[in-house]
Structure formats: structure tokens, C-alpha cells
Structure 1
């Protein structure tokens, strides 16, 4: 009697392993996949954020950070390993959360900030802070309440987790020290438009609200709210890993010390923008300038010190945010079908 073959291992319900090949630096269409690529089936899913400095796991085991995803208007937030897609934990948002405003994830993966329905008695706007770990008793750790929080459309944590920026559709941004429920400052738009991005420097000392349509960027002290410098001719940008410069449009590097354009570092040559840096600042994911003969945009993973290209692929995008995993090996982005996919670019 022949032995019965063992059953094939069942795949995780939430993840699907792709079978089509992806070779670094080889053309790949957004519909193709890669060996080892993990795909989370559509809800459709949206990337909430990536936390690079997650607390150690059970028994002090190290982690590679977490990526938070949810359905576009879902109350179910899943925290996944950003390189394997393995589930870490999940959070179910309370019913008073306004699901049309994306939550914010803190850099250590410990907190979620969410916009709540207005206070039923005072009608003041509210923002709640939830732990991503089980708590006793469950519920919000803090609730910020103020008239100026009505109309909040975006939230971003500062790197140390104590600062929370709130962008408002009425054309201003507020900076809060949420553990003490203290509003640090309110920054009004010079264009009258709402902020499109809320940027903190990696060291947590600086804050730059990027308002839609602006032609200069104001940099504020994240601790006091005082204006530190104004960069004319810079409509938007991302802080450098050392917090000494701002990466602006057309691959420009602006020095925060004097506001002048600095020599282009090797990793910015031939790029139109930066998607993100690895947690240690040694790798950067950039958008290559222009398109190829087939009209495709390309992303490149580069070494910051030398500008050397470590891997590349055609842009994977369906309208949702893209990010680089904290270890600098994997692109996290939309798959064009309403899902999130994790695409390996270059191993360490």
C-alpha cells in the first residue's frame, strides 16, 4: 500500500504569493508580480502608514517595523510585517471614528490617531488616540477637543510620538502635544488652501506644513511652534535623514542653515522626487525623471552614500501612498487592483 502524500500547506488567508518573475533593473509592468512578493487581497486596501521603530516583540525578539493597512472606509486596521506581510496585530476602530479621514500611525507603531465625530454637547472637534496593543480598560488613551479641530482632514505623528499635527480644510495646521492635551501652535496657510502634507524632520525638532499652492515653505520649531526659517521658491519638500536639508522639486537639495540650494547629492541625480528613506538613512527610494519609451515611470532604490542603484521597477501605483520598508528592501504600494503589495527591491 503506497503512503498517502502529505497535504500541501495551506496559504495564509490574508496573503497570496505571486509567481511571476521580477528581476532588478528589468522592465516590469504594474500588473506583474515577483517571487516572494506578498499581496494582501483588496478591500480595497489603503496604506495607513509605516512604523520604523517598533518596540521589540515577545521575549525581546527584534522586529522590522510594521505597516498598517485598512479598507478605504473600514474600521478594521491590520498591522503587518512590512517585508513579509505577516500579520502582527489588529485594531478595530470605535464607532465614533470618522472613517473618511485616514488614521495616523506613530513611528513606534504603538499609537493610532483618529478623527472623531464632534462632541455631542459642545460640538467641538475631537481627535482620539488609540493604542495598537491591548489595553485595560480598552478605549482612547486621550481625546483632544477644541473648536479648531472641526474640519480636520489629516493627521501625522512626530518622530518621538508626543507631537501630533492636524491639517484642517479651512486652511491651517495645528500642532499638539497630545499626552498633555496642549495645543502648541496654529499655522495659517498663506494661500488660503488646506495642507497637502505635514512634514516632521527625522530628529523631531522641525515641522513643515505644506499647503496646497504655496510657493515658499515655512519651517517651525516642533517644540515651541516658533518660526525657524522660510524657504522662498520651495513649494514642497521632504527633510533629509540628517534633518539639515529639504529635498525639493526637480531633485534639489535646500540647506536649512542658509536657505540656499546645495550641490545635488549623487542619490538625487536624475530624479524628480523622493518616496522615502530606510530607517537607518543609508537607502532611498526615488522617482526617476521622465518616462521610458513605453511611457512608464520608474522607481529606483539607491545607496545614499554613493548614489549607486541597488534595484529598480516600474511604478506600482493606483492612487494610494507608496512607501519604503524600514529596512530599505521592499516597496509597499498599491497593486492597481485595490490591494496592497510588498515588492522586494534589493536584499541587505
Structure 2
């Protein structure tokens, strides 16, 4: 699974490193030992930071789930080594054009299903990622509002499931009981681009395309808690007390007031993700270098100190940070994925 970099790849890597300050160059040299997972082409299903260790007594490093773009085969891998943990074959009624959602503990996959053959209403199923004696779905939710589902997302505690719909709304479900908590209509008429939960699972923020304000809902009751004007995009902070908006802004909850940005946001154009313990963050650096490349940086949350950096690969593959905060999970430009060490613990 691990490939040695070619001479051309090494030459390009060294050229890129020479453009950085010495401290960044030393941090980024670890990318020479990247792990490659061959292409299908692959799609990122999700990263489960709370997944149990592969071996009894081992460290909890989480898992990353990938699958072919229209494949029924989901692979769960170690997010730093690429080692296979387990695999799931999706049943025939699963819609392969909708990406499954992976729970934070790595135990469940939520999948969109073909409409009920008798009632024709939409369905969502919950599958275990571990072999089960009876097989089949742990739970199937059927409702007219699930017809047209195009995205799914679990809350971090696994009790809530959000479903984005192409008709321009998002629904929140207590999936174990099949209870619909709330339906949030789009204010722009567009579908949800992202379905965000706060790390403590108390808040839910559907991010609709082209929106200019973000609404924050109570994930348990579905009640509206805050409306953040001028915030079209946001990612919750690790402490769930703020929202990281575009252009490196920090918006406090619930009053919506902007606060001085923390050091790790300086000179950034957005946050990709945090490590599971909240001590490391992967950010997009503002602007491009002289060769037109955009850079990603791994930073220390407490100080803003840069721990590692590397250029993006523009293949449409979303980047993610491994749960331990040491490795970038991204595309390789050829339909596969790469696991690039940024800074060891």
C-alpha cells in the first residue's frame, strides 16, 4: 500500500519546500513518507475520531472510511497508516449516489435507500460496521420528507441524524426512535451544502448554499437558538462556544458578536478541521505563493505556532485531519487518497 515517491515527485517536493521558511521546511519534509491508497476513484465517507482501537489496549486513533464513487464496498482504514480495519458491503437497496455518513465512534453507517416499494416514500437506513448475526439494518426510517435525501450526518454523540434534501430543507432525526426533531427550510431555495453539529452535540447548524446568515438550532428540541447575520459558512469551535466563519473570523454564541480571532486563525482563509483533543487545527493559508499554489498549515491551537505545511492537490477531494492531529487525509490527484504525515506527536 505504501509507495516510494518517484524522482519527479521528490524534485517537486523539494522545490516547494525551498519556498518556505526553514522551520516550515523541516516540518513538511515528513510528507516524503506518505501512504497511498490506490484509486477506485475513492470518495471520503467520513472520519470517526472516537472509534475503538484496532487491537485490545491500543491507542484510540479512530478510523477513516472510503469507498469507490459508485461502489457498494466501504473500507474502514487506520487514518495514519492506511491499514485496513474492517469493511462493509452495502445492501442492494442503498442509493450509491448519496454518500453514507459515519458515526463518530465508527460503529454505524447511515445510508439513503431507494423509496419504499409499496408507499413510495423516502427511506434512510442505519447499518452496523461490525459483522452482525442477523445482518440487515439496525433501523430503517420511512417518511415522505426523506424523499430526495442527498446528504447525511451523525451528531458526535451518535443520537441525532441530519438529512439534507435537494428540495431545499434539512431534517433532524432521533434515529433510534424514528422521531423527527425538526425540519429547517432553506432561506435561499437551495439545498444544504453542509450539516454541522457542535462537538458537544447540543447545537445543529444546517449550512445552505448561498445563505448570508446561519441559524443555530437546539439539537435535542429543534428550537432556534441563534441567528448569525453576515455568516454564510461556519465551523464550530472545539469548545462549542463559537463559530469559525469565513475570512478567519470568530463569532461567539449565542449573541453573534465577533471576537478577536485566536492566534491559530491569523493569516488563514478557513479551518479544515481539529484534532480529536482540540489541540491542533488544519487551516488554509490566505493567498497563494509565486507559483499559484494554495498551502495548508497544521497549527497549535493554544499558540498558533505552525507545526507543518504542504500544498493542496486540486482534484476535488476534500481534505481532513486525522483524529490524532498528525496526518492529512486528502486526494492524490489520480482518484486515490494520500495520508501525509505533517507533524508527529
- The bucket for the TM-score relative to the shorter chain is over 0.9
Aligned pair partner of 2:106 in 90, 109, 133 = 109
Question: What is the match of residue 322 of structure 1?
Answer: 319
SS at structure 2 position matched to 1:16: coil
Q: Would the alpha carbon gap of residues 253 and 27 (structure 1) be closer, same or farther in structure 2, given more than 3 Å must change?
A: farther
CA contact (8 A) 1:42 1:337 kept: yes
Q: 1:132 aligns with which of 113, 129, 134?
A: 129
TM-score by length of 1: 0.92
Shift of 1:63: 3.1
Alignment RMSD (CA, Å): 1.7
Q: Provide the residue aligned with 2:48 in structure 1.
A: 51
Q: Provide the residue aligned with 1:195 in structure 2.
A: 192
1:218 counterpart = 2:204: no
Q: Show CA shifts across 1:101-147 (max 9, x none).
A: 00000000000000000000000100000000011101100001000
| Aligned residue in 1 for 2:276 | 279
CA distance in 2 between partners of 1:271 and 1:308 (Å): 13
The structure with the greater share of residues assigned to helix is 2
Q: Deviations over 1:51-71 (max 9, x none)?
A: 000124443433310000000
Aligned to 2:61, what secondary structure does the other structure show? Answer: coil
| 8 Å contact kept, 2:30–2:343 | no
Deviation at 1:49, TM superposition (A): 0.6
| Cα contact 2:30–2:341 (8 A) shared by 1 | no
SS at match of 1:26: helix
The range that moved more, 47-56 or 89-98, is 47-56
CA contact (8 A) 2:225 2:254 kept: no
Aligned counterpart, 2:259: 262
Q: Does 1:161 align with 2:158?
A: yes
Distance 2:164 2:262 in 1: 31
Please state how far the C-alpha of 1:258 moved relative to its aligned partner: 1.7
Specify the alignment match of 2:17 in structure 1.
Answer: 26
The normalised TM-score by structure 2 is 0.93
- The DSSP-based 3-state class of the residue aligned with 2:138 is strand
Contact 1:335 1:341 in 2 (8 A): yes
